[in-house]
């Protein structure tokens, strides 16, 4: 398409150039013929129809322009030849045959020129003179027309050359621009076959192609990350569901063998069903929060009395382990627009997690700030290894040291989902063997 368009544009441009050249030559023909005809007509009038004197002017004009370049003919009203100056009888004969058509310009072809056999082109202008005589002036335009044909040949050859070169350049450019797309198509087919690690190498193409490749690599990375997380999530959920199902199966087998009473089976089924439902409900709630499906009404809360209530609620389990639960709250109000129940879930999960991992007679400190609206929960204890911190907010993830404790690894994932639903973020820092701090920034 580019090749044809380029050729068409050049052809149109060449046609305009050729028309301009032709127009220039035609105007030059007419101007030259008019000049000679007007001069001879003026001399004819000055000679007073004296043919001898006018014949002298004829010869001088021919000598001035050359006998091979100019042809003069004077005919009477009846068509008889009065004066003739020409080196080519064929040209004069054809001029005489057209003598009856006065005041016009026409073109004729005859044999002549240097080789005496080559075709000759002559432009003829006819002018009516006083007394009914007709003056015919012929101008040899063979060289001019040959020049026009040469220009036309050059334009056609150039057009053909440009079309061929344009085709080659077009194919080269097309391959250059489509090569990255071909690589992307190949990579997409690899992804379709299950190879999600494929990436496009850095390209030296133009900026738009480089941006497209970068977006493609980013998309591939996100797909691979999502699928990896989904696989890990599935494996962890299967692992956590296997334990209550194993207990249910064991209780049912004991009941079948008559070893355990029916009441124990019902109690076990109820407990394990609650565990599985809690896990499934929390997983569903995290997903709904992350994708904004669970839209809850909001209200403006003063976080100072809110945290006071939360600390009173968790003071009993802290006292059971002899843990010092301290609050550092601002003197003035700290307003935040949120859903109270969701905020209770977030703060409660962090406090429950802190108390659970704090050893007996340890401490838990809660700090609230107004600008920005944020809170920290710091607890003493074994802490978290630096290599484990990036995973603490993943679903079902639990450190090796915490697998013996009760829980399913979903609490902190829910905390992260709720914080981000309010445009905030949550982070964790830890000094192994000393303290662990969870900080939540609410925007």
pLDDT tens-place string over residues 230-241: 777 676 667 667
Q: Which residues pair with 241 in a beta bridge?
A: none
> Residue 277 has which token pair?
């439902």
- C-alpha to C-alpha distances, 196 to 200, 211, 443, nearest whole angstrom: 12, 20, 36
Under DSSP, is residue 424 helix (H, G, I), strand (E, B) or coil?
Answer: coil
Percent of the chain with pLDDT over 90: 17
Average pLDDT score over the chain: 81
Segment of 37-51, 292-306, 319-333 carrying the highest mean pLDDT: 319-333
Residue 296 region by backbone torsions, left for phi larger than 0, else alpha for psi between -120 and 50, else beta: beta
The pLDDT assigned to 121 comes to 87
Decide the pairing of beta strands 335-338 and 299-302.
Answer: antiparallel
Contact of 3 with 147, CB cutoff 8 Å: no
The pLDDT assigned to 236 comes to 67
Segment of 6-15, 263-272, 313-322 carrying the highest mean pLDDT: 313-322
Contact of 18 with 151, CB cutoff 8 Å: yes
Residues 6+ apart with CB under 8 A from 125: 30, 33, 34, 36, 37, 104, 105, 136, 137, 139
Q: Which residues pair with 111 in a beta bridge?
A: 119
Helical axes 2-47 vs 142-192, angle rounded to 10°? 170
For 6-55, how does the pLDDT look when each residue is reduced to its tens digit (9 = 90+)? 777 777 887 888 788 778 877 887 888 888 888 888 888 887 767 788 88
Interatomic CA distance for residues 4 and 355, integer angstroms: 78
For 113-151, how does the pLDDT look when each residue is reduced to its tens digit (9 = 90+)? 555 567 888 888 888 888 788 888 888 888 888 887 888
Mean pLDDT for the stretch of residues 71-81: 84
DSSP label at residue 95: H
Decide the pairing of beta strands 335-338 and 374-380.
Answer: unpaired
The pLDDT assigned to 113 comes to 55
Question: pLDDT band at 364, cuts 50/70/90?
Answer: very high
Question: pLDDT band at 5, cuts 50/70/90?
Answer: confident
353, pLDDT greater than 80: yes
- For residues 190 and 272, which has the higher predicted lDDT (pLDDT)? 190
2, pLDDT greater than 70: no
Question: pLDDT band at 286, cuts 50/70/90?
Answer: low
The pLDDT assigned to 99 comes to 65
Under DSSP, is residue 37 helix (H, G, I), strand (E, B) or coil?
Answer: helix
Q: Rounded to the nearest 10 degrees, how much is the dihedral formed by the CA atoms of 339, 343, 346, 350?
A: 180
Which of 151-160, 288-297, 365-374 has the least mean pLDDT? 288-297
Question: pLDDT band at 430, cuts 50/70/90?
Answer: very high
Percent of the chain with pLDDT over 70: 85
DSSP label at residue 391: G
The pLDDT assigned to 101 comes to 62
The pLDDT assigned to 122 comes to 87
Residue 306 region by backbone torsions, left for phi larger than 0, else alpha for psi between -120 and 50, else beta: alpha
> Residue 73 has which token pair?
């003919």
Contact of 423 with 294, CB cutoff 8 Å: no
- For residues 341 and 205, which has the higher predicted lDDT (pLDDT)? 341
The pLDDT assigned to 125 comes to 87
The pLDDT assigned to 115 comes to 53
Q: How far apart are the first and last CA of the chain?
A: 55
Under DSSP, is residue 81 helix (H, G, I), strand (E, B) or coil?
Answer: strand
Mean pLDDT for the stretch of residues 246-253: 77
Determine whether 406 is exposed, middle or buried from the number of CB atoms within 10 Å of its CB (0-12, 13-18, 19+). exposed
Q: How many Cα atoms sit within 13 Å of 382 on the Cβ side?
A: 10
Contact of 335 with 302, CB cutoff 8 Å: yes
Decide the pairing of beta strands 324-328 and 363-369.
Answer: parallel
Model-level pTM?
A: 0.47
The pLDDT assigned to 402 comes to 54
81, pLDDT greater than 80: yes
The pLDDT assigned to 44 comes to 81
180, pLDDT greater than 70: yes
Segment of 282-286, 365-369, 370-374, 384-388 carrying the highest mean pLDDT: 365-369
Which of 39-43, 305-309, 437-441 has the least mean pLDDT? 39-43
248, pLDDT greater than 80: no
């Amino acid at each position: 398409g580019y090749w044809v368009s380029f050729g068409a544009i050049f052809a149109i441009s060449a046609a305009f150039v050729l028309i301009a050249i032709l127009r220039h030559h035609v105007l030059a023909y007419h101007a030259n013929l008019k000049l000679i005809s007007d001069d001879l007509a003026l001399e004819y009038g000055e000679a007073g129809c004296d043919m001898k004197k006018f014949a002298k002017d004829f010869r001088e004009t021919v000598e001035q322009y050359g006998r091979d370049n100019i042809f003069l003919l004077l005919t009477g009203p009846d068509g008889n030849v009065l004066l003739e100056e020409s080196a080519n009888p064929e040209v004069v004969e054809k001029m005489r045959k057209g003598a009856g058509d006065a005041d016009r310009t026409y073109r004729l072809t005859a044999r002549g020129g240097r080789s005496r056999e080559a075709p000759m082109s002559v432009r003829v202008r006819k002018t009516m003179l006083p007394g009914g005589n007709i003056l015919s002036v012929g101008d040899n335009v063979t060289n001019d027309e040959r020049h026009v044909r040469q220009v036309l040949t050059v334009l056609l050859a150039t057009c053909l050359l440009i079309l061929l070169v344009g085709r080659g350049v077009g194919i080269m450019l097309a391959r250059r621009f489509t090569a990255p797309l071909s690589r992307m198509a190949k990579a997409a087919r690899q992804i379709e076959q299950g190879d999600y690690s494929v990436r496009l190498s850095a390209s030296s193409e133009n900026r738009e192609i480089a941006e497209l490749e970068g977006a493609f690599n980013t998309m591939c990375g996100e797909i691979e990350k999502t699928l990896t997380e989904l696989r890990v999530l599935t494996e962890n959920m299967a692992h956590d569901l296997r334990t209550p199902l194993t207990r249910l199966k064991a209780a049912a087998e004991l009941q079948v063998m008559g070893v355990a009473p029916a009441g124990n089976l019902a109690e076990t089924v109820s407990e394990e069903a609650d565990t599985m439902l809690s896990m499934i409900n929390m997983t569903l709630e995290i997903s709904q929060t992350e994708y904004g499906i669970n839209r809850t009404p909001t209200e403006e809360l003063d976080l100072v009395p809110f945290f006071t209530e939360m600390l009173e609620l968790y003071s009993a389990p802290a006292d059971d382990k002899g843990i010092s639960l301290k609050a550092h709250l601002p003197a003035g109000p700290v307003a935040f627009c949120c859903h109270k129940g969701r905020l209770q879930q977030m703060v409660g999960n962090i406090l429950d997690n802190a108390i659970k991992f704090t050893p007996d007679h340890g401490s838990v400190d809660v700090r609230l700030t107004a600008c920005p609206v944020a809170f920290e929960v710091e607890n003493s204890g074994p802490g978290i290894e630096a290599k484990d911190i990036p995973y603490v907010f993943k679903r079902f993830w639990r450190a090796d040291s915490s697998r013996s404790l009760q829980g399913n690894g979903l609490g902190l994932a829910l905390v992260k989902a709720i914080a981000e639903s309010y445009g905030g973020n949550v982070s964790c820092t830890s000094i192994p063997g000393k303290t662990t701090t969870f900080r939540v920034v609410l925007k």
